[in-house]
Amino acid sequence: MDYRWRCQDENGRDIPGGETQFGGQVEAEDWLSRSWQDLLDAGVDRVTLLHGETEVYGPMSLHAP
């Protein structure tokens, strides 16, 4: 199974942005570390890492604490 990000807006609605599939968790996390600002600019408020349909962790805010 592949990893991917579920991207959601501030109301918890799924929005496009996490369709990219990754072969491993590290690859997915590296992509997010490079792409989080672009996602935030596109209206993504939070992300959840999925392995198949299983939540690995999240939702995690893209906003600074």
Instruction: Name the token pair of 21.
Output: 């599939």
pLDDT at 56 (0 to 100): 97
Low-confidence ranges of the chain (pLDDT < 70): 17-18
pLDDT at 1 (0 to 100): 75
pLDDT at 65 (0 to 100): 81
pLDDT at 18 (0 to 100): 66
Q: Report whether 15 contacts 41 (CB < 8 A).
A: no
Alpha-carbon distances, residue 27 vs 2, 5, 11, 32, 64 (angstroms): 11, 11, 28, 9, 22
